[in-house]
Amino acid sequence: MSIMNLKGWMERDGVRLSPADVERMLEEGPQSLSRCGGEFLLVRGDCIARDAFGIMPGPVPPGTIYCGGREAARIFPDPPPCTLEEAIVTAVDLRSDEGVVAFSGGVDSGLIAHLARLPCVTVGIEGSHDIAWATKAARALELDLEIVTPTEEEIEEKLAQVVRVIPDPTNPVDAAIATTLAFAAAWAGEHGHTRVLAGQGADELFGGYARYLSSPDLAADLERDFADLGRQGARDQAVAALHGVYFSMPYLDTRVVRAARVIPADERVRGGVRKHPLRVVAERHIPAEIARADKKAMQYGSGIWRTIQRLTRRNGYKKSVQGYLTEISRAEYDH
């Protein structure tokens, strides 16, 4: 009998599946996995199965089961319908048996951290906005918080590691986000964890970006940005893998995605308030000050972007961060 290798976790209709459960299902044939949710890459013999949204990286397309190099079945979880609040609570609960939360103190990570009750980690340079705000939010939520404060030299070293593995190493925004996440992943791995719960997907699902406030076609912009999540996920999981961990995304749970996408675009960004539906849910669980917080993106709030700009100038590129990243990626490639 072929040995089963399962990376991540699986569930069906809100019930976590043990390896023995999955083995029994596989005895019935690969099609038996078609309604499974979770975040997983499952390999057994010549069969490979990957979760519906492709959260877990793998050699087959998201939401497919391949056997003998051919598609044998599709994975399409169909849990019972529920409200957005029920969806988020269930999604976090399914992921809370192990791990840490990448915490910035905003509504996305604040709600996850409160529901998960797991250790939290915040990344930021000394004196950064994220450290100050996350410290305040963690105190209000009574969370265990670890603060990682990388030096300029450590950021330079981590950036060099990051550009070696992310899909688009010369994209300044991608490099800055990936570097910030890499420090959180490193802390998790060093402390024996394999899972980092993160708030990715909330901006695209609920309308979190500032540009949505002036969008001429909000519905189209939300769809386009949601479609880009696969690319972002590949970036994030690449840096997580450097440290033997993976990012877990409660907001990209099938239930949450389904509940969010039926909300009209003009309800997601409403009265100048971005992520309105998420904030309504969050206010029932966490203090309004955190639920309503208008936070900077992680690469800015952490101070990582400002440090990368300083490194760029120090290396003779004045304002061309892309030029600096190109030099680093070439050096890493030559190395």
Domain boundaries along the sequence of the chain: 4-74, 84-301
DSSP H or E stretch at residue 22:
helix 19-27
Q: Which runs of E-coded beta strand occur in the chain? A: 4-12, 15-17, 37-44, 47-50, 64-67, 70-74, 100-102, 120-123, 145-148, 195-197, 246-248
Residues 6+ apart with CB under 8 A from 194: 98, 99, 188, 244, 245, 246
Contact 138, 145 (CB under 8 A): yes
Whole-number pLDDT of residue 328 = 86
Residues 6+ apart with CB under 8 A from 301: 104, 124, 128, 129, 130, 133, 295
Per-residue model confidence as pLDDT tens for the chain (335 residues): 578 999 999 999 999 999 999 999 988 988 999 999 999 999 999 999 999 999 999 999 999 999 999 999 999 999 999 999 999 999 999 999 999 999 999 999 999 999 999 999 999 999 999 999 999 999 999 999 999 999 999 999 999 999 999 999 889 999 999 999 999 999 999 999 999 999 999 999 999 999 999 999 999 999 999 999 999 999 999 999 999 999 999 999 999 999 999 999 999 999 999 999 999 999 999 999 999 988 888 888 899 999 999 999 998 988 789 988 988 888 755 55
DSSP reduced 3-state for 283: coil
Give φ, ψ of 35 to 5 degrees. Answer: -105, 15
Q: pTM of the entire structure?
A: 0.94
Whole-number pLDDT of residue 246 = 97
Whole-number pLDDT of residue 301 = 86
Question: What is the amino acid identity at position 66?
Answer: Y
User: What gap in Å lies between CA 326 and CA 319, rounded to an integer?
Assistant: 13
User: What gap in Å lies between CA 320 and CA 220, rounded to an integer?
Assistant: 31
Q: What is the CB neighbour count within 10 angstroms for residue 313?
A: 13
Is domain 84-301 classified as CATH 2.40.50.140? no
